[in-house]
Amino acid sequence: MSKIVRTILFVLITTSLVLAACGTPASPAASDWSVVKSAADGGGMDALIAAAKAEGELNVITLPVDWCNYGEMMDTFAAKYGIKVNSLNPDGGSADEIQAIIDNKENKGPQAPDVIDIGPAYGPLAKEQGLITPYKVETWDTIEGTNDPDGYYYVDYSGVMVLEVNTDVVSDIPTSYADLNDEKYKGQVALAGDPRASNQAAQSVYAASLANGGSLDDITPGLEFFKQLNEKGILLPLIADSGVIGKGETPITFQWSWNAYANKDSFAGNPNIEIIYPSDVNWGGYYYQAISAYAPHPAAARLWEEFLYSDEGQAIWVEGYCAPARLADLNARNVLSDELKAKLPDPALLIASTVPSGDQLSAAREAIKEQWDSVVGLDIK
């Protein structure tokens, strides 16, 4: 081989290596979707959909089918993308979701959640513990609420606290929290979860505090209120899900508005349900979405979030009586039909409702968890 030929070959090989080194880096979507912070970062929605379909499954947790119409949400997502949705512990609470991530961090097995839907006190907690990962959906700029600026957690829907009353059992219908503290309701009042683990139940206690002279920084009157209900035999030790409500075992339930209306629809008059907005407290609440940092199906997890925050997903939440976080944008573009708008909570109630800050909720959650047994002394399960 001549010196000239060797020189040409050397130049060609060197040039090829330089071009390879300076070329466009491989997309993170090609290797690890768990670090992708937006669909664009992973190569776009087509790349995300392809990766999610390749994973083939999605693990959700603590999503009852009648909660915010999650049954339709899961079915629609599964049919749209051909991805199997595994629903874990549908009757659990926010604390169970956090614990499930912790318990399954190492194995990423069938009990490891990909995504979580949690009360607002648990969003910052999960971030602090390194259990969730940041991701911003394509409609991020239209999501209203106390979202983490980096996308670790973000508001999904909201509503107000009501009393769900089975009028086949209860003839004298209470109109306030104060009304319930009467022995004529003995054995009739229930919480929709364990307040030591359930955001919904804990916020019922928090709301009771305001109804009894407390403040957003003082949960004590709420605990004392439930102590009195327990001492008088008014408060039941049962978690009021749709099953026991339907059987008349828990005639009066502290409930998020969307759950009460979903029950009323599903019971279709058997039993008859009346929904009461308590006169002594107008309590609002919301939940957060987040993706597990240890998700076994990271692409499917991100596609799920994209679906939830699409117009289609938001409308499915409205169908379940939940006010979605993108409601203002949906209304501005006239996306929702009049029939769907009729299922939304009264805007005046939402606007005027008392909604504590994340720090206040976290403090209240800790106080309830630590003091429920010693103050109230009733194991609800």
Q: Which residue has the higher pLDDT, 298 or 17?
A: 298
Other beta carbons less than 10 A from residue 168's beta carbon: 14
Please say whether the beta carbons of 95 and 122 come within 8 A. Answer: yes
pLDDT at site 108: 85
The domain 159-282 is placed in CATH, from the list 3.30.310.80, 3.40.190.10, 3.10.300.10, 3.30.420.40, at 3.40.190.10
Closest CA to 276 of 186, 349, 356, 200: 349
The domain 37-157+286-352 is placed in CATH, from the list 3.40.50.2300, 3.90.550.10, 3.40.190.10, 1.10.1660.10, at 3.40.190.10
- For residue range 52-69, list pLDDT tens digits in order: 999 999 999 999 999 999
Cα–Cα separations (whole angstroms), residue 158 to 31, 32, 214: 36, 33, 23
- For residue range 38-48, list pLDDT tens digits in order: 999 999 999 99
Distance of CA 73 to the CA centre of its chain: 13
Q: Which residues lie across from 285 on neighbouring strands?
A: 159
Please determine, for residue 29, whether its predicted confidence score (pLDDT) is greater than 50.
no
Please say whether the beta carbons of 284 and 173 come within 8 A. Answer: no
Closest CA to 294 of 169, 172, 116: 116
Q: What are the φ and ψ backbone dihedral angles of 4, each rounded to 5 degrees?
A: -65, -45
Please determine, for residue 202, whether its predicted confidence score (pLDDT) is greater than 70.
yes
- For residue range 110-168, list pLDDT tens digits in order: 999 999 999 999 999 999 999 999 999 999 999 999 999 999 999 999 999 999 999 99
Q: If you ran DSSP here, which 8-state letter would residue 238 be given? A: E
pLDDT at site 21: 40
Please determine, for residue 5, whether its predicted confidence score (pLDDT) is greater than 70.
no
Dist CA 310 CA 317 (whole Å): 11
Other beta carbons less than 10 A from residue 371's beta carbon: 15
- For residue range 108-121, list pLDDT tens digits in order: 889 999 999 999 99
Burial 241-252 (b: 16+ CB within 10 A, else e): bbebbbeebbbb
Please determine, for residue 20, whether its predicted confidence score (pLDDT) is greater than 80.
no
User: What SS3 class is residue 112?
Assistant: coil
339 is written with which tokens? 């029939």
Please say whether the beta carbons of 92 and 64 come within 8 A. Answer: no
Please determine, for residue 31, whether its predicted confidence score (pLDDT) is greater than 80.
no
Dist CA 112 CA 272 (whole Å): 39
Q: Is there a common fold for 37-157+286-352 and 159-282?
A: yes
**pTM of the entire predicted model:** 0.89
Please say whether the beta carbons of 189 and 252 come within 8 A. Answer: yes
Burial of residue 323 (number of CB atoms within 10 Å: 0-12, 13-18, 19+): buried
Please say whether the beta carbons of 306 and 115 come within 8 A. Answer: no
User: What SS3 class is residue 351?
Assistant: helix
- For residue range 66-90, list pLDDT tens digits in order: 999 999 999 999 999 999 999 999 9
Domain spans of the chain? Answer: 37-157+286-352, 159-282
Please determine, for residue 326, whether its predicted confidence score (pLDDT) is greater than 80.
yes
